[in-house]
Amino acid sequence: MSTSIDPYQPINCVFHDYLEHFATLRRPIKIRFNLNGLEVSISKAIIYDLTGGRKGEYVHFKNDNTDLKVRMDHIISINNIEAKTFNSSYC
């Protein structure tokens, strides 16, 4: 599980829409994210849930070897769609 003590930074709503899209399709994707200061890349991951609360919003995904929950503001890209390319303003 991805944990962090830094405050959650809400993500852009258009990027969030992409996460919802891939969660709905439940098809394998490639996801890159920061985990404890390291960049991690996982292929053939399936997003199976999106959750949120006071401490942030999370993407739950799994593949053959991994079942993780990652804070959305730690995601670098999903299927080569870079999170940083979206305006930092959120909805």
**Which H helix or E strand runs over 16?**
helix 13-25
pTM of the model: 0.87
- 81 in Cβ contact with 20 (< 8 Å): no
User: What percentage of the chain reaches a pLDDT higher than 70?
Assistant: 91
Residue with tokens 């709503």: 13
* pLDDT tens readout for residues 23-38: 999 999 999 999 999 9
Is the CB of residue 62 less than 8 Å from the CB of residue 83? no
- Cα 23 from Cα 18, distance rounded (Å): 8
Class of domain 13-83: mainly beta
Task: Please report, for the chain, the start and end positions of each structural domain, with discontinuous segments joined by +.
Answer: 13-83
